Amino acid sequence: MTSPDETSPDNDLQKTLKLYSEGKPLFTRAVLEDLDHHLEKGEKKVMIRDYLNKEHIYDLEIPDWCADSADTVRIKYNGIETLTNLHPDEDRVSWGTRTMMITYGSQYKYNDITVEKVRAAFERQRGAWKQSKTCKHFTQQFEGFTPGQVAAITKIVGFALGPVAYLDVRSADGIGPSATNALTQHMALLTIAEILKQRNGGRKVKCYTQDPVNKGVGNEFLKTIGITSLDDPKGFLEVDDKTLVVSIHPNVPVRQVIADLQYPAAMLWNTVEEPVKREWEQKTMDDGDVTWIFPYSTDPVSSRVVRMAEQYDQLPFDDADDWFGKLTWYVRKHKKDA
């Protein structure tokens, strides 16, 4: 018989910390491939083992209990911070020891937005991008990459580049801030691909993105400009040692997933800084209810992310027009170049 202490949240937490310090990955290609297989085949259920090897069964169809509010199946990824921070009131880890799990939500509906309207917005914003200081700096920064570093990149995978179809027709430009940033970030992907093509003797660079918010009209438009949209978790599975990963303020721990799965050729993502221990905060809502706020971002830096970043040359991204936020280029170090 198992004693109460052996199954306590604190005991699980200590086991998790021990396994993590020993190098056990939170995320593995085998688990992602199995989940992808189940989703692609339209299976009704999937079993996912948690960090302590316990089995959990999830519905891959919308359950009755949330059918009125949900219309899509999502994968939730839990980083090491989520697995090792006890909730102040409940004295437990909110998601237990589950590094990956299935959740359910609703897909944003783009009323009256067509591919043609998105394309028109894209063309308007393209002019602003081409003439911007950010684009100029962006292009110049590539000159600092060595031939070997550039040659190592054969494809680009973007994560969380934003909702290209989320147009705000009431705004002055008919685009709005969310779509402006999203369209610009996808333009940057195409700019990178074009520069790589030029520097690599005309070799085409494939572009992929993974962002559920673009499902439907957004993905249809991206296809017309040469960007292939991938369902979760196919984007992660596409990453290999010849990939440039572009990730901008994602709501999943992209950096921790990548650190476990595969060190890419290069990354352009939120600047990696030494992790700092943070505490839960209480917040009083507008209705007077008091809630606890989780202390970490959705894409926190772990010790593994820091260790990965040390293997790359680093160059701060110059975002003069504030379309991207605080990003850094990470390009794999080469001891000897052609």
One-letter amino acid identity for 176?
A: G
Per-residue pLDDT, 238: 98
Q: Tokens representing 230?
A: 């991938």
Collect all residues with Cβ–Cβ distance below 8 Å to 76 and sequence separation of at least 6: 95, 100, 101, 102, 103, 252
Dist. CA 30–CA 37, nearest whole Å: 10
Q: What is the rounded end-to-end Cα distance, in angstroms, of the chain?
A: 63
Q: Tokens representing 39?
A: 């989703």
Tokens 């491939």, located at residue: 33
Q: What is the pLDDT of residues 73-115, one digit of tens each?
A: 999 999 998 898 877 777 777 788 999 999 999 887 777 899 9
Dist. CA 180–CA 166, nearest whole Å: 9
Contact 186, 225 (CB under 8 A): yes
CA atoms within 13 A on the CB side of 190: 17
Dist. CA 221–CA 105, nearest whole Å: 23
Considering the segment(s) 115-332 as one domain, its CATH architecture is 3-Layer(aba) Sandwich (3.40)
Contact 242, 152 (CB under 8 A): yes
Domain with CATH 3.40.50 in the chain: 115-332
Q: Tokens representing 185?
A: 């970030």
Alpha helices in the chain (DSSP H): 9-21, 29-40, 80-83, 115-130, 133-141, 147-151, 177-199, 217-224, 234-238, 254-261, 303-309
Residues of the chain under the 70 pLDDT cut: 1-9, 169, 172, 295-296, 335-338
Collect all residues with Cβ–Cβ distance below 8 Å to 110 and sequence separation of at least 6: 165, 166, 216, 217, 218
Per-residue pLDDT, 4: 41
Q: Tokens representing 337?
A: 């170049």
Any idea what DSSP says for residue 294?
P
Q: Tokens representing 164?
A: 């290209």
Contact 256, 79 (CB under 8 A): yes
